[in-house]
Structure 1
Amino acid sequence: MARLPRWVSQHLAALRALLVLTAVTGILYPLAVLAVAQLPGLDHKAEGSLVYDEDGAVVGSSLLGQSFTDEDGNAIAAYFQSRPSMAAGENGDYDPLVSGASNLGPESVVDALPDPALGWDGDELATKSLLTQVCERSYAIGEREGVDGSRPYCTESGAGAVGAVLGVFYAEGTTGDVVRVVSLNEACDAVAAPFLAEYEGVPVECAVYGEDYAAAIVTPVEGDASGEPAVPADAVTASGSGLDPHISPEYAELQTARVAAERGASTEDVEALVEEHTTGRFLGFMGDPAVNVVELNLALDSVFPAGDEAGPVG
């Protein structure tokens, strides 16, 4: 019997390998993983770690955060609030498909101020720096929870708060005497006066829309706020994915009194519920303790109903 040409044998061997690997990796392996995922103790996670209300309806996943805000984006007082998220819309909607961070880093400290005729909502080119966003959130949360919302490098300004950042002009570019100082995040149309009257003996000016301050040396001002703010860091910054359902025990503690008052429960009872939904460090030494806000708020609705006006989880 004549042997097949060498090139035909090589192609047949490659075809056999393709068929075998397709069967193993494309059919057998996925089926094996699926079977293991259905074992007791693993099936809940395999199905998405879904959480249900008392009626058995799916209201979310313990792996994905949610917004507990009204249609105007304001926090619902009867619920513990999650971390800030790019997935949370201004109208209270929460879209987990919008996963990701803001791409703003630690050097994002200078705002792109809006056209005074359009304002922040109307000027698409205007952007708030990460620092200003953190400052705004901190002061807003402080007001909501009845604590001091100040933190280093932030200052109250106009109707809110901004990053306390100066643009310092020197006589010789980056050295020499200070000849001019501008509060870069405080627009003249928004403030009566900058947060500092003078810097190194030079009067501080407010920022004028459209003026170029690129030659200035960006100089954040720490201020006299405590280095350990009452508002925790996770309350004012988003997670890397923007979908984290967890907050720190410190942020949960900050909200306990408000939630207890809205629910008509004692602070001690709400604290106990928070403790039940607090997980420790992974393997005892990795990560930090965390509170799952979705599960906690669902438990609150079950144990201490707040009424229809609060709105259900999910």
Structure 2
Amino acid sequence: MSLVRPALTLTILMTALLGLAYPLGMTALSQAILPHQANGSLLERDGVVIGSALIGQPFAAPRYLWPRPSAVDYDAANSAGSNLGPTNAALVAGIAARAAALEAANEVKPPVDLVTASASGLDPHISPEGAFAQAARIATARGVAPAEIRAFLRAHVEGRALGFVGEPVVNVLLANLALDEAFPMAAPPAEAAPARTAATNPDD
């Protein structure tokens, strides 16, 4: 019985410290120092939340960058990959179909990240090569010179974290918002979604 009181005391103390004080303290600290990131890196346009810089979403209009495919149709509540292996016939066929559709739309062979999905299905980034491959299509849709779009995209490449971690990337949503600001379109034309299969049988 002599050990019961210290055990209960320690349990209550650690619960209060690690279950209440620490989480509340970290929440308060993050809200004070990095409120935007702590609240999900949400992005707004005209006062309306349109997405998060951390979560990929679909774009199909020719005037925008297109993201990586998603095995979960960009459902942020259901992050997952397809779990298809490299010898799976559906995977191989899906990649071939996406590559053909993208090559027809962009008139260049797409890099691998544009025809394969991430393990989460919600990657908000594409490679710089994936962005540059779409420059001509975006330029045509917005009525500007391809060189202007390429220069714009080059300026929106994010470097490696800390200078050496990861690879350079382009955030699709941030770049598309910036495209609308840099190359506004008075009245967006009626645009049919391209024949993409990005959300159909994408791979990891």
Offset at residue 275 of structure 1 (A): 2.2
Which one of the candidate residues 52, 56, 71 is aligned to 1:86? 71
Q: Determine if the alignment matches structure 1 residue 103 to structure 2 residue 72.
A: no
Q: 1:238 aligns with which of 101, 117, 126?
A: 117
Say whether 1:57 aligns with 2:42: no
Three-state SS of the structure 1 residue aligned to 2:51 is: strand
More strand per residue: 1 or 2? Answer: 1
Q: Write the distance in 2 (CA, Å) between the matches of 1:22 and 1:285.
A: 39
What is the aligned length? 190
Larger Rg, first or second structure (1 or 2): 1
Tell me if the contact between 1:247 and 1:291 (Cα under 8 Å) persists in the aligned partners: yes
| TM-score, length of structure 2 as denominator length | 0.87
Q: CA deviation at 1:308?
A: 4.1
CA displacement at 1:300 relative to structure 2: 1.3
Post-superposition offset of 1:276: 2.8
**Counterpart of 1:183?**
none
Residues 72 and 81 of structure 2 are in contact (CA less than 8 Å); yes or no, is this contact kept in structure 1? no
Q: In structure 2, what is the equivalent of residue 27 of structure 1?
A: 20
SS in 1 for 2:141: helix
The residue aligned with 1:142 is 103
Identity over the aligned pairs, expressed in percent?
45
Return the match for 2:61 from 42, 55, 76.
76
Secondary structure of 1:278's counterpart equals coil
Aligned residues of 1:76 and 1:310 also touching (Cα < 8 A)? no
Structure 2: distance between partners of 1:98 and 1:38: 27
Greater RCO structure (CA 8 Å; 6+ sep): 2
Conserved in 2, the CA contact under 8 Å of 1:51 and 1:61?
yes
Which segments of 5 or more consecutive residues in structure 1 lack a partner in the other structure? Answer: 1-6, 69-74, 89-93, 111-128, 148-229
1:187-198 correspondence to structure 2 within 5 Å: none
Q: Alpha-carbon deviation of 1:240? A: 1.0
Aligned to 1:47: 39
Deviation at 1:231, TM superposition (A): 1.5
CA shift for structure 1 position 310: 6.4
RMSD over aligned Cα atoms: 1.7
Is structure 2 residue 7 aligned with structure 1 residue 14? yes
1:86/1:98 contact within 8 Å kept: no
8 Å CA contact 1:257–1:267 kept in 2: the answer is yes
Letter in 2 for 1:237: T
Partner of 1:36: 29
CA deviations over 1:195-215 (Å, ceiling 9, x no partner): xxxxxxxxxxxxxxxxxxxxx
CA distance in 2, matches of 1:281, 1:135: 30
Structure 2 match to 1:211 = none
Instruction: Check conservation: 1:78, 1:310, Cα contact below 8 A.
Output: no
State the match for 1:275 in structure 2.
154
For 1:240, what is the secondary structure of its paired residue?
Answer: coil
How far apart in 2 are the matches of 1:10 and 1:237? Answer: 58
* Structure 2: stretches of 5+ with no match in the other structure: 192-204
Q: Which amino acid aligns with 1:291?
A: V
Q: Which residue of 1 aligns with 2:197?
A: none
